[in-house]
Structure 1
Amino acid sequence: MGKLTTHVLDTANGRPGAGIKVELFALAADTRRALKTTVTNHDGRCDEPLLEGDALVAGEYELVFGAGDYFASLGTSLPEPRFVDRVVLRFGVADASAHYHVPLLVSPFSYSTYRGS
């Protein structure tokens, strides 16, 4: 049974990114359909998979992370406009029976991702 998960690591402060808004969208042609909105827990993870089982299908997806609001909530001094604000990650799911883990490593001035396990 396939599933999609994520987590956020705050690389500027060396801790999980807790309380970050995460939005998930399905992409098809020129349409973008909202699937789920959640917030990361104290460990920077979502309490349940974003998608799993029959809900995860092959195709293109987009995760949007509210990183700028997270850093602002910590009192981090940020330029206006913010250099890193809403982080948008587009990715493809080729095998819906697999586990796709899409983590975000983020600071106020950089971010990276990879396909985790």
Structure 2
Amino acid sequence: MVSLKDIVPAAQNNVSAQFILLEKDNPVKEGPGKTCLTLVADETASVHFQLWGTECDAFEPGDIIRLTNGIFCCVRNKFVLRAGKRGMTEKVGEFSMVFVETPNMSNIQWGPNPSNFRTLKQENVIAP
């Protein structure tokens, strides 16, 4: 399991974390399915988490979610965490988790990492 403060954008499904769902937007129809943007957090940070299809109905604020093999990537010019095609989400509890709302990892500007061209590094915090 990784802490949310330690996630970085990547083209790999390698994020396994546990967090609490704090806020949930209304589902939006996209193509053949629907998506739903949420705010999730653990004891180290928060991040926007995108739910797809049936996940939109499966989770509610207060749910504790375990993500396995998720991906933190740019979707429509915003960085979001999501399960993607290879990841899995499951509800493991509710209402009993310590969390913080800052920093929000989705509000960080990411730039090229000169020491490793396959990764990005934190540059600036974008005001919400």
Query: After TM superposition, is the score higher than 0.5?
Result: no
TM-score normalised by structure 1 residue count: 0.24
More RCO (CA 8 Å, sep 6+) = 1
Structure with greater proportional strand content: 2
